[in-house]
Amino acid sequence: MIKKIYNIILDKYLCSKDREYLIGEYYITLPACHKLDFYQREFKNYDKKLPIIAALVSNKYHDAVIVDIGANVGDTAAAIRTAVSSPIICVEGNSDFLKYLNKNFFIQILLLLLQNNTSR
């Protein structure tokens, strides 16, 4: 019964449309029915330790390149980017998620370019 109520709520509120979600310093677009925000609410350490580890690695290996295999919509890369400036290579095999990954990073690159042009 509880699972049925959960699925009704999920379908009505979560699966209605894409939504913006803040990861570290970056807003990314989550597709309808994506459960990242629910996972992060339910599991407080979900995606929280990896940026710390990335910062430690980046401090020791200054030329490190980070590879995110199964990048999904770019949430982990956004969290890591908040902590380090190392290059991040994202690999995603799901064509649906790849659309969001491209969109999320195109928007972030565009915002960075706009910020740099206005600060001159």
3-state secondary structure 7-70: HHHHHHHHCCCCEEEEECCEEEEECCCCCHHHHHHHCCCCCCCHHHHHHHHHHHCCCCCEEEEC
CA distance 60 to 107: 30
Per-residue pLDDT, 46:
87
pLDDT band with cut points at 50, 70 and 90 for residue 57: very high
CA distance 58 to 60: 5
Handedness of CA 34, 40, 42, 45 (dihedral sign): positive
Residue with tokens 């960075």: 112
Residue with tokens 């649906």: 96
CB atoms within 10 A of CB 98: 17
Handedness of CA 79, 96, 6, 12 (dihedral sign): positive
Largest CA distance in the chain: 59
96: amino acid identity, one letter:
D
pLDDT band with cut points at 50, 70 and 90 for residue 23: very high
Domain count, the chain: 1
Per-residue pLDDT, 116:
62
Full domain range(s) for residue 33: 2-118
Average pLDDT along the chain? 85
Higher pLDDT, 2 or 91: 91
pTM, to two decimals: 0.78
